[in-house]
Structure 1
Amino acid sequence: MSTETLIEPPLQDADALIADMGGRARAAAKIMATAPTAKKAEGLRAAAAQLRGQADAILDANARDMTAGEANGLTSAMLDRLRLDAGRLGGIADAVEAIAALPDPVGAEVDRAERPNGLVLRRVRVPLGVIGIIYESRPNVTADAAALGLMSGNAVILRGGSEAVRSNRAIHAALAAGLSEAGLPAEAVQLVPTQDRAAVGALLRAQGLVDIIIPRGGKGLVARVQDEARVPVLAHLDGICHTYIDAAADPDTAVALAVNAKMRRTGICGATETILIDRAYAAPRAIVDALVAAGCEVRGDTDIAALSPHVTPASATDWDCEYLDAIVSIAAVDGVAGALAHIDAHSSRHTDAIVTEDAAAADRFLAEVDSAIVMHNASTQFADGGEFGLGAEIGIATGRLHARGPVALEGLTTYKWLVHGTGQTRP
């Protein structure tokens, strides 16, 4: 297949483009906010059917993106994120259907109280409104983000990366067709029609039209969004995830989890990037050998490098690196306290795990690691909304406000107070 050049007309007025999209999204959001659960589910099931029905067109578009990506020198990890096949596309459609079957958070009562004067106060969940989502590489985000936004009663404006532009457009066309078929506004899911970076800036400035921005991508993208946004941002930075092998870890479990956490899929944000091994652990060489046998490059500190000629010395920057590749850094630490100190200094607060049969060590690790997700005897690759039973996810939030960890339906709502009185006046 020859390399195809995507030619777009120059963008004349980014602010006008986003204002038009935002106005249409705001109108659609009003409809979605009060749409019955059954109607939203019908729309998502129709969208999933369209994804399957338009599979040939979507996979052809993805093949053209893959060809362009290879020609442009995308890394193997980036290409893995970009690649679709029949199985992955089927999984995307399945995820959209799974979201349709989830409990609808809109209208759910968070709490209720009755005041001494007889006023009844209720907090109920409501949609955020219009969500702007800026993302890179992964075309599945187009469907996941749209489905989550719709089922939670929102409208979404999507701006995908240039690497997946053809795939995103084909997926978006299928989603819009499904919504229209179900009698819901196609404008509830819009895709920014240009790759001009000025459109991103306009989206970040769209106060009054966009209620929240969610970036999914590398450090450069997230940093730009956080620096330039004039609307609230729900974000995570790097996925610098750790797996700590405690002295009391079962050796077979330790090897299996270390290899899976690093190598199952190296290009996802839940992949372990650093392994910490207690100096008192009896079989560190087996972990190193298993990773090397799995095709992983191992970079280690002095203690780890002494274990095997296959280990290269780690640099100071390795401990703060999200490789997204078959590379791992390994350090020896002094027990749980040493692991906690290393994680505190280098973790991106995404996902960190301990492998141990010592309940007290596990309890301390779970209590003291300040990350969105903390695990005991489980692979960090489980850091995923689908694996948490949330359906798909729109991202892993590592901040402290509004939502933390996998952000799914509930994370895309806020609440309002409903006050019921019987004629009370305030003295």
Structure 2
Amino acid sequence: MRTQLNNEIVYEYLNRICGDRIFEKSPRNVRLLKFLVEQSINGVDVNESLIGFELFEKNYNPEKNDSKVRVYMFNLRKKLDEYYEEAGKEDKLIFQLSKGQYNLQFKIRDTLVFKENNTPLPESPKLKQRIFKNAYLYYILGIGTMLTLVLHFSKAIKNEHYCWNDFFNNKTNLCVMADHTIVWHKYGSRLIPTIEQNINSEADYISYLQEHPNDSIKLADYTLFSKMAPFSIKTLTEWFLQNKSNFSLRLESRFEIDEIRDNNLLYIGQFKTMNTSDAIFLKNSTMFKVNSNLNGFIVDKENKEVEYNPAFKSGVQNKDYAMVSFMQLENRRKALFFVSNNDIGTMAVVNNFTDKEWLKGFYKNLPDYSSYFNALFEVSGVRRTEISCELVELEIIE
């Protein structure tokens, strides 16, 4: 007699897994698992390209990014194994991903998850409980939303924080710090930690090994960030606390693009080590682009390119350029980038944009407080105590 999987119970187990601590901070793995479950239920044969376009959308190129898919499949298998060793060790329905396979299979521990001849099974008590809890939650959220709207429209709030307003009104903010991926090189019998210019993530590492199969490098289990990170994070933390808000932290090497679906985004640090963030930074600009070779920026002015690159005097760098980019993301969340390949450049613009009086003066250059922009600053006195930070180019995004 033919048996058919009860989809309600499949989704019950899926929600249980996605809500577990192992998955709750990994939105892309959750999205991948949900996608694979849906395809399995619908009988779709999954391949690498299908997953790639689902996960990375416009940023996926099957000729260049295949390794990224394999990395996420590998990580998903590890997380599922970890889940079934801990919270899911008593689960009656197992989501199984065999090594080297992309199709998810359901492994049954109890025939209660089946129905025969389409005869409906009694509703799962846990499913009923979940429906009741969700209904109650939606009720509470509805009341909370109404109160929030009343408070919002009953007060004429002055937008004195300009580009920070959404960050302070919304508690789901993510701050991404630039970091350097470390690999171990074998020299004789010794392992030496080094930075490879073309390896800024686990996916880059796998791609490198595919191109250099005889190389003996190993990916370290730690990364490196420069001094701008602790100083800028301290400044931003104090600024957010003053305004009764907060943010979560993420290293660029661990940042997943799906995380911007539910968060406003802050980025601090270099552009030369950007990986995931590179898909967002300056994508709204028709005026600016990065000059990777010289660690500077190129400005297109009246069909003529002007370069702004670091300057040196007597072998010591005394001038740098920093970019501040404020943009709206596709989901109406906001992104604010503080980018310079020199620590002092990043720290200087972070310090200025967390100063109310300085912000008031800067916004005199903009049509109104809600304008999106890309602003290039010249930072001089890199080796001195006093640092100057002057606006040299401004692009207003319509």
Would you tell me which structure has more strand in proportion to its own residues? 2
Bigger RCO of structures 1 and 2 (CA < 8 A, at least 6 apart): 1
TM > 0.5: no
User: Which structure is larger by alpha-carbon Rg, 1 or 2?
Assistant: 2
If the length of structure 1 is used for normalisation, what is the TM-score? 0.24
If the length of structure 2 is used for normalisation, what is the TM-score? 0.25
